[in-house]
């Protein structure tokens, strides 16, 4: 029992295994809901609702009309899924004794959280997706725009790594002289036990909530909106729990390769996406449709700004979400700044020129046939995998 508790509840999980599990689950999510696992679209809606609360009429802003502000976070699939993610992240943090209020080490870190968060939020919505909808849960679904997004996101991440390597932005370590007689600090076992117990209680409450919702709504029916909302809550909880236990931040896929020549996160993500692509392909053959976005200058610039922003802020949407629920104020600031970035984009979107935001749509399955599109997508994954190996070895 102690072994199970330590290995599966307290300790972090194997990063590679979690990536692969997330890839499979995200494809199943697509099969059930017809949409990919994504977060910034709902963050945009939350930003819009905040503006409406301030009395701003959003009917004249086309971007908010595209995002469909009907309902609220409790009645939208994406909204209830994100609430589930928050619960999963928080319970995972408590189980691992990772919850502790921690303030940014310096003012420059606050600056980075604000600027990086705004840029990543603005860039994600300019490109109609972050590195979930346009990368991890985007690349497997045969819209060629996701590959263009990934290329320019990589460029942005590389630029962000170079900028953050400037001494001005590097954290300043402080050496503190201590008395040799001082004993080393010990973990506060009282807090550890309290957090673990609290996590168990919250998880039991979550289970009772899910059971109550299913009993209230009757049998599981994918045509029933209330049943779908309950399933979305469960999927969101699992997604949040997994990213927290696996410490999953998609920023690390390329950032760690550029900084430390560490390619394991990227390789794991690519394997997960290849599996997801095959599963998604099966669902598409059964009649599911994937979202195809236009390839435009706005997509390219948005991807670059997003890539730069997530490195500058220190994490992507998944990364800052689970870290915020660990009590890290820096990433709470980054999260709020991210939503502010979506608001800035939505309010200024109609000022952008037509040629900048419009382009062509390329569906690999429609263009090259079903098997041809699947083969090309898998070959592109393989090419990126080989590039990671070459970069690690020779650059």
d(CA 36, CA 129): 11
**Mind listing the pLDDT tens digit for each residue in 196-245?**
999 999 999 999 999 998 888 766 666 677 889 999 999 999 999 999 99
Measured CA angle at 122 (ends 118, 123), to 5 deg: 115
**Mind listing the pLDDT tens digit for each residue in 142-158?**
999 999 999 999 999 99
3-state helix, strand, coil in the chain (%, to 5): 70, 0, 25
Report if residue 179 sits inside a domain: no
pLDDT of residue 220: 65
Report if residue 176 sits inside a domain: no
pLDDT value at 376 more than 60: yes
Task: Note the pTM of the prediction, 2 decimals.
Answer: 0.92
Identify the domain containing residue 87 by its residue range: 9-169+191-394
DSSP per position, 184-223: PP---HHHHHHHHHHHHHHHHHHHHHHHHHHHHH-S--TT
327-344 average pLDDT score: 96
End-to-end CA distance of the chain: 46
Report if residue 230 sits inside a domain: yes
pLDDT of residue 189: 78
**Which of 128, 127, 388, 390 is CA-nearest to residue 271?**
388
Angle formed by the axes of helices 40-53 and 329-348, nearest 10°? 80
Report if residue 206 sits inside a domain: yes
Instruction: Please state the domain count of the chain.
Output: 1
d(CA 118, CA 124): 10
d(CA 131, CA 303): 9
pLDDT value at 32 more than 90: yes
Q: With beta carbons less than 8 A apart as the criterion, state whether 209 and 80 touch.
A: no
Which residue's entry shows tokens 């117990």? 197
274-287 average pLDDT score: 96
pLDDT of residue 185: 43
Percentage of residues of the chain with pLDDT beyond 70: 94
């Amino acid at each position: 029992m102690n072994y199970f508790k330590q290995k599966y509840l307290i300790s972090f999980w194997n990063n590679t295994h979690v990536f692969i599990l997330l890839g499979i689950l995200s494809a199943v999510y697509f099969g059930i809901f017809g949409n990919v696992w994504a977060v910034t679209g709902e963050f945009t809606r939350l930003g819009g609702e905040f503006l409406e609360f301030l009395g701003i009429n959003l009917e004249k802003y086309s971007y908010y009309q595209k995002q469909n502000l009907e309902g609220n976070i409790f009645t939208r699939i994406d909204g209830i899924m994100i609430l589930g993610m928050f619960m999963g992240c928080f319970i995972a943090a408590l189980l691992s004794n990772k919850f502790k209020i921690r303030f940014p080490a310096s003012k420059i870190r606050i600056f980075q959280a604000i600027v990086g968060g705004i840029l990543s939020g603005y860039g994600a919505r300019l490109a109609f997706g972050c590195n979930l909808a346009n990368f991890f849960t985007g690349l497997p679904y045969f819209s060629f725009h996701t590959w263009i997004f990934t290329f320019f996101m990589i460029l942005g991440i590389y630029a962000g790594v170079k900028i953050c390597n400037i001494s001005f932005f590097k954290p300043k370590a402080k050496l503190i002289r201590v008395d040799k007689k001082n004993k080393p600090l010990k973990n506060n076992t009282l807090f550890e036990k309290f957090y673990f117990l609290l996590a168990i209680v919250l998880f039991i409450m979550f289970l009772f909530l899910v059971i109550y919702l299913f009993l209230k709504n009757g049998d599981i029916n994918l045509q029933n909106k209330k049943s779908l909302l309950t399933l979305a809550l469960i999927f969101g909880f699992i997604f949040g729990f997994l990213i927290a236990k696996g410490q999953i931040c998609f920023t690390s896929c390329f950032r760690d390769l550029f900084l430390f020549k560490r390619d394991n996160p990227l390789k794991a993500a690519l394997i997960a996406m290849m599996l997801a692509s095959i599963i998604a392909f099966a669902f598409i053959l059964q009649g599911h449709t994937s979202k195809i976005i236009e390839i435009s200058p706005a997509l390219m610039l948005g991807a670059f700004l997003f890539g730069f922003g997530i490195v500058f802020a220190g994490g992507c949407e998944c990364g800052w979400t689970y870290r915020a629920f660990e009590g890290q104020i820096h990433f709470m600031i980054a999260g709020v700044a991210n939503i502010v970035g979506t608001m800035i984009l939505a309010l200024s979107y109609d000022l952008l020129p037509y040629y900048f935001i419009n382009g062509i749509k390329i569906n690999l399955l429609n263009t090259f046939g079903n098997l041809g599109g699947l083969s090309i997508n898998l070959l592109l994954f393989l090419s990126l995998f080989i590039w990671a190996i070459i970069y690690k070895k020779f650059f």
